[in-house]
């Protein structure tokens, strides 16, 4: 065979191999990784619906002890959690032992201690479900329902990196004020017949309180991570400047990812792929406010990027802020497992799974329908972005096999 003919045959073989990989990782079931990811997806589907009547009847452990034992270097909760519904129900109903102002931050919250000494973060309702937050993609108050929805999206995507969150209705007069610290009590006021509070935070103002409907206040409750897993805060490499007229480097330098790859902890280990997973997660929920992130301390870059503080999400269903995806389209790489999961959630499967998961929550409906439709639309945008990368540099350079699982201590 002549050299020219051999080269043509070789190119054809390489093309077929590339197309085969794209097929197997684009909804096909032929590869070992695809089959493994499909089994994980089916497990997620089977456990998605949670029972409102769930109780812990087979153990002497408290729900807080069970949830604490779930936490590991690469997950907040494991793939199979038959006790999840019971733990969430406890979060939504356990007696409040103490109430205080929230830990440091820019947004209004309260720190509650539940029966048994479990700390949780309470974020109060500020908007009705159909309210549209206008302006910058990070504008507005925290949305309590966004915390709930983001947790269940974390379950559906198979990341398992978000702390447990559930909606809760509290009676401010009987549940909160009798156990509140003087510091928190000093921020309560009345607006008509409604009890309100404004707390202590950077943007907290007496003129902008969160108000109950009468005495009943809706909010979200986030389970505090165990103290044996102290957190370390990091500046997000794709963070915004939040200063008008001043761009961050990633906003004008399309080669920025190459510089990030040379900086620890992004030069080795799973952290950069975690950042890209998080960009996909944030794009789906419309969160353009992840200026910092947390991991576990002294992890050497091996810990997961923990999906904390997701409340600046689901503000405007009509806005698809593409800049949130910058880590994905600038680095042009994504985990094989993430890519497989995204493909399994196409054609309306994502919004359907969210409806199923959110039906359990005490404050359902958690999301207005336009936000559910936006999830499917944005997912299509993520898939299209990955396909553009594969077309530009090939699937082998785009789809990264990374299944780091560190044992629990």
Compute CA 242 distance to the chain's CA centroid, rounded to the nearest angstrom.
Answer: 22
Taking CA 22 as the corner, what is the angle to CA 21 and CA 23, rounded to the nearest 5 degrees?
Answer: 90
8 Å CB contact between 248 and 256: no
Q: Any binding-site annotation on 123? A: yes
- C-alpha distances in Å from residue 199, one per residue of 3, 179, 304: 77, 15, 31
- The answer to whether 200 is a known ligand-binding residue is no
Cis, bond preceding 365 (omega within 30 deg of 0): yes
Please state whether beta strands 110-114 and 118-124 pair in parallel, antiparallel, or not at all (unpaired): antiparallel
142 is in an annotated binding site: yes
**Token digits for 252?**
């004008």
Instruction: Show the CA angle centred on residue 383, arms to residues 30 and 324, nearest 5°.
Output: 140
* Cα distance between residue 284 and residue 376, in whole Å: 8
* Partners of 96 in beta bridges: 114
Count of C-beta atoms within a 10 Å radius of residue 353: 22
Q: Which of 277, 282, 289, 376 is catalytic?
A: 289
Is residue 364 annotated as involved in ligand binding? no
Maximum distance among all Cα pairs of the chain, rounded to whole angstroms: 90
Token digits of residue 122: 């309470």
Name the residue with tokens 């994504």: 334
Is 130 one of the annotated active-site residues of the chain?
Answer: no
Using DSSP, state whether 171 is helix, strand or coil: strand
- Known binding residue 225? Answer is yes
Distance CA 248, CA 253 (A): 9
**CB 26 within 8 Å of CB 57:** no
Which of helix, strand or coil describes residue 87?
A: helix
Bind-site residues for Mn(2+): 142, 309
Bind-site residues for ATP: 107, 123, 222-225, 294, 309
Catalytic site residues?
289
Bind-site residues: 107, 123, 142, 222-225, 294, 309
């Amino acid at each position: 065979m002549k050299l020219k003919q051999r080269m043509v045959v070789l190119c054809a073989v390489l093309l077929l191999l590339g197309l085969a990989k794209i097929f197997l990782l684009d909804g096909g079931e032929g590869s070992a990784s695809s089959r493994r990811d499909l089994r994980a997806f089916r497990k997620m589907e089977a456990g998605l619906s949670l029972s409102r009547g769930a109780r812990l009847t087979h153990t002497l452990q408290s729900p807080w002890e069970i949830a604490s034992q779930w936490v590991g270097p690469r997950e907040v909760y494991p793939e199979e959690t038959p006790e999840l519904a019971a733990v969430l129900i406890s979060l939504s109903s356990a007696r409040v032992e103490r109430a205080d102002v929230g830990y440091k931050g820019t947004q209004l919250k309260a720190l509650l201690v539940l029966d048994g000494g479990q700390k949780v973060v309470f974020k109060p309702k500020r908007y009705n479900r159909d309210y549209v937050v206008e302006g910058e993609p990070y504008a507005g108050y925290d949305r309590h329902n966004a915390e709930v929805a983001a947790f269940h999206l974390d379950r559906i995507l198979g990341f398992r990196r978000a702390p447990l969150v559930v909606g809760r209705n509290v009676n401010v007069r009987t549940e909160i004020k009798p156990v509140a610290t003087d510091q928190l009590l000093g921020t309560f006021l009345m607006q008509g017949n409604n009890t309100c509070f404004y707390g202590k935070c950077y943007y907290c103002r007496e003129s902008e309180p969160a108000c109950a409907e009468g005495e009943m206040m809706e909010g979200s409750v986030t389970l505090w991570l165990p103290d044996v897993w102290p957190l370390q805060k990091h500046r997000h490499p794709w963070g915004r400047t939040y200063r008008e007229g001043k761009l961050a480097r990633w906003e004008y330098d399309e080669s920025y990812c190459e510089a990030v790859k040379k900086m620890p902890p992004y030069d080795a280990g799973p952290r950069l792929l975690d950042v890209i997973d998080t960009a996909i997660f944030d794009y789906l929920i419309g969160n353009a406010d992840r200026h910092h992130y947390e991991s576990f301390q002294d992890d050497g870059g091996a810990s997961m990027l923990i999906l904390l503080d997701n409340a600046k999400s689901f503000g405007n269903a009509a806005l698809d802020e593409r800049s949130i995806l910058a880590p994905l389209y600038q680095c042009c790489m994504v985990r094989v497992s993430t890519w497989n999961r995204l493909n399994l959630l196409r054609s309306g499967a994502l919004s359907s799974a969210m409806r199923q998961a959110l039906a359990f929550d005490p404050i359902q409906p958690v999301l207005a329908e336009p936000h559910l439709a936006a999830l499917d639309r944005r997912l299509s945008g993520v898939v299209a972005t990955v396909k553009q990368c594969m077309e530009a540099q090939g699937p082998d350079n785009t789809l990264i096999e990374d299944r780091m699982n560190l044992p629990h201590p």
